[in-house]
Amino acid sequence: MNIELHDISRVYGESRALHSLNLSIGESVRVLALIGPSGGGKSTLLRLLGGLEVPDTGEIRIGGKNLPKDEAGLLAHRRANGYVFQSFNLFPHLDASSNVALPLIKVHGRGESEARSLAQASLERFGLGAHARKFPAELSGGQQQRVALARAIVSKPKLLLLDEPTSALDPEMTSEVLEVVAELCRDGQEIILATHEMGFARAVADQIVFLDEGSISETGPPDQLFDRPTHEVVKRFLGKVMRW
Amino acid sequence: MTHFFDRPLVKKALPWLLVFLLGVSFSFFLFVLLTHDYHWSRVGKYWGNLVRGWGLTIGLSAVALLLSTLFAAILTAGQLSRLAPARWLSRCYVEVIRGTPLLVQIMIGSYMMANALGIDNKLGEGMVILSAFSAAYLSEIFRAGIESIPLSQRISAMAVGFTPTQTYRYVIIPQTIRRILPATAGQFANLVKDSSLLYVIGLPEFTSQAREVHSNSYAGFAVYLPLAIGYLILTIPISLWTRRMEERFRYEH
């Protein structure tokens, strides 16, 4: 996916969310997982990569090009990529089909009927064909997240950014959403995923980045990072979360 | 020792006592209305005046309703604007209008402002004053409605690539409408009723006509009862219409 971070910092008022981050992700990496304790900077980094926020210092280069900082450039960047949050992704006043189709029509310039059939296909792919006319409030949390995924990928994004997409779900729904994400990974979709699901990160990711207190403690391929962590913080964190 | 109102018997009996009291008051009210000796015949030749006044109230309210909505939208945009002077100006306007009685505004608007501008058109003045008054209340309803939409909706809209305008058009406004319908309908009904105060500048609307008929015919309640019913005929449909709109905009079942 060819991403480079040079000296990236992000400050919210008094607190530093990211501390001069430097990172280089090679072309061979298709799925990148961000792990680490809550408040470590995973979401902030995703927001910067997705163009939802601008870093206070530093440059992000994706595919050799600097990520723009002006509103028009950021808009174009957001339109080229897909994004799924932890929860409340969907527009509650629109049914599943419209949630997927509306951005296609208004942002990507598709015709109404073309957008509808693309939306239907995308929903069917994730096992939601029968729920197209339902409103978010009529869907389970897992179904809502799958609709959000269907909406994020229907415009064929270059990068799919997932910010803890299963953190608000129970184990059963979590696995139904991870199933879908795993399928996207198998299909070659480039994904950056922030997650607390260590087993899943290990299974799908080509590279893991461990973020703690706004800095990268360690990064490497999953087997290396999970089996032979070198950084003390990473060892302690993995020891804690893998214990049960 | 349990509190008096927490005792089981009292707890059971209290709602029924309230229903009973309400029933008695209502019956008394009906009794007064029904047994009153109305002088319907005295209204006789004046029915036309009442109907004309009613018609003027309808027309006046309809125009003021549209004008005030339009003006309220501008005020709301001002209140939510990134430009500080726009925010201050709209805020000041809303506070001044909400902090003074409509009757005073009507007199200042008509006798001072319109006079100073050399305008002598009671109907126009009435519509503008009423719209200006109602817009302040409407804009507060609109603003609170927009601000009640969670930030996550804006961020989601941003993430799917909507521009700020598209975010308002397709995400914020549709959800806001559903939330503000009841309060907006209430304000619309208020506007219809508040138009009755325009009798003070001699605008021959419904209430003004009723007062005149009353003093000419000595018909007493025979004038005021149709007056009340005339307003109800206008305000009840507003309330019914909102119920239907609420149904239409419902998305959480």
Q: Nearest C-alpha of chain B: how many angstroms from A89?
A: 6
Average pLDDT over residues A182-188: 89
Residues A136-140: what's their mean pLDDT? 92
How far does the CA of residue A138 sit from the closest CA of chain B (Å)?
7
A88 Cα to chain B: minimum distance (Å): 6
Of A156, A176, A204, the residue that ends a domain is: A156
Place of tokens 């005021």: B224
Domain with A183 in it = 29-54+68-81+159-244
Contact B171 A91 (CB under 8 A): yes
Classified as helix, coil or strand, B218 is coil
Asked if B162 and A106 come within 8 Å (Cβ–Cβ), the reply is: yes
Q: A59 in a domain, yes or no?
A: no
Report whether B223 contacts B217 (CB < 8 A).
yes
Same domain, A223 and A144: no
For position B247, what pLDDT does the model report?
Answer: 81
Residue A221 in any domain: the answer is: yes
Print the SS3 string covering A228-242: CCCCHHHHHHHHHHC
Q: What DSSP letter does each residue of A163-224 carry, written as one string?
A: ESTTTTS-HHHHHHHHHHHHHHHHTT-EEEEE-S-HHHHHHH-SEEEEEETTEEEEEE-HHH
A233 and A164 share a domain?
yes
- Report pLDDT digits (tens) over A19-39: 888 999 988 899 999 998 888
Question: How far is CA A199 from each of CA A192, A222, B106, rounded to the nearest angstrom?
Answer: 16, 10, 72
**Pair (A165, A242) in one structural domain:** yes
Band (A124; pLDDT cuts 50, 70, 90): very high
Which residues from A are below 8 Å from B when comparing CB atoms? 50, 52, 75, 78-79, 83, 85, 87-94, 102-103, 106-108, 135, 137-138, 151
Q: Indicate whether A139 pLDDT > 60.
A: yes
Q: Is residue A22 part of a domain?
A: no
Kindly state whether residues A151 and A165 are assigned to the same domain: no
Contact flag B156-A88 (C-beta cutoff 8 Å) = yes
Beta-carbon separation of B170 and A52 below 8 A: no
pLDDT of residue B146: 95
Residue A17 domain-assigned (yes or no): no
Alpha-carbon distance of B223 to B206, in angstroms, equals 11
Nearest of A4, A7, A1, A2 to residue A215 by alpha carbon: A7
Contact A210/A219 with Cβ under 8 angstroms? yes
When pLDDT is averaged across residues A139-149 and rounded to a whole number, the result is 91
Whether residue A189 lies inside any domain: the answer is: yes
C-alpha B33/C-alpha B28 separation (Å) is 9
Residues A121, A176, single domain; the answer is no
Name which of B155, B160, B175 is nearest A103 (Cβ-Cβ). B160
- Closest residue in chain B to residue A71, using alpha carbons only: B163
Which tens digits make up the pLDDT trace of A57-87?
989 999 888 999 899 999 999 999 999 998 8
Looking at the structure of chain A, the number of domains it has is 2
Contact B156 A89 (CB under 8 A): yes
Return the pLDDT at B1. Answer: 58
The answer to whether residues A74 and A195 belong to one domain is: yes
Task: Establish if A60 belongs to a structural domain.
Answer: no
Q: Are residues A183 and A164 in the same domain?
A: yes
DSSP 3-state of B100: coil
Write down which residue in A156, A176, A210 finishes a domain.
A156
Sheet holding A31-35: strands in order across?
Answer: A82-84, A159-163, A190-194, A31-35, A207-212, A215-220
Phi-psi region of A39 (alpha: psi -120 to 50; beta: other; left: phi over 0): left
How far apart (Å, rounded) are the C-alpha atoms in residues B146 and B180? Answer: 9
Q: Which residue of B has its CA nearest to A137?
A: B252
Q: Which residue of A has its CA nearest to B169?
A: A106
Which residue in B103, B244, B116, B100 sits closest to B178, CA to CA?
B244
Residue A235 gets the label, from left (phi > 0), alpha (psi -120 to 50) or beta, of alpha
Residue A102, H or E segment: helix A96-106
DSSP assignments along B116-140, one per residue: HTT---HHHHHHHHHHHHHHHHHHH
pLDDT digits (tens), chain B, 253 positions: 567 777 888 888 888 999 999 999 999 988 888 888 777 777 778 888 889 999 999 999 999 999 999 999 999 999 999 999 999 999 999 999 999 999 999 999 988 888 888 888 889 999 999 999 999 999 999 999 999 999 999 999 999 999 999 999 999 999 998 889 889 999 999 999 999 999 998 888 899 888 888 888 887 778 888 899 999 999 999 888 888 888 877 776 4
Best B156, B160, B177 member to test A by mutation, with max A CBs in 10 Å, is: B160
Q: Which of B163, B175, B251 sits opposite A75 (nearest CB)?
A: B163
Q: Does A243 lie in the same domain as A163? A: yes
Question: Which of residues A156, A184, A199 is at a domain's end?
Answer: A156
Arithmetic mean of pLDDT, A188-194:
92
**Nearest CB to B152; choose among A88, A108, A137:** A88
Preferred mutation among A74, A75, A77, A91 to probe B, highest tally of B CBs within 10 A: A91
Q: Are residues A243 and A191 in the same domain?
A: yes
Same domain, A106 and A125: yes
What ipTM goes with this model? 0.89
pLDDT tier at A117 (50, 70, 90 boundaries)?
Answer: very high
B152–chain A nearest CA distance, Å: 6
Our measurement of the distance from residue A196's CA atom to the centroid of its chain's CA atoms, rounded to an integer in Å, reads 13
Contact check, Cβ <8 Å, A88/B170: no
**Segments in chain B forming alpha helices (H):** 8-35, 40-43, 47-79, 84-98, 102-107, 115-116, 122-147, 151-159, 164-166, 173-194, 206-217, 221-248
The pLDDT value given to residue B249? 75
State whether A235 and A137 are in the same domain: no
Within 10 A of B14 (CB to CB), how many other CB atoms are there? 12
Which CATH number belongs to the domain containing residue A209 in this structure? 3.40.50.300
Can you give the pLDDT at residue B25?
94
Give yes or no: residues A166 and A241 share one domain. yes
Is the residue at A220 inside a domain? yes
Q: Cβ(A39)–Cβ(A85) under 8 Å?
A: no
Give a yes or no: residue A13 inside a domain: no
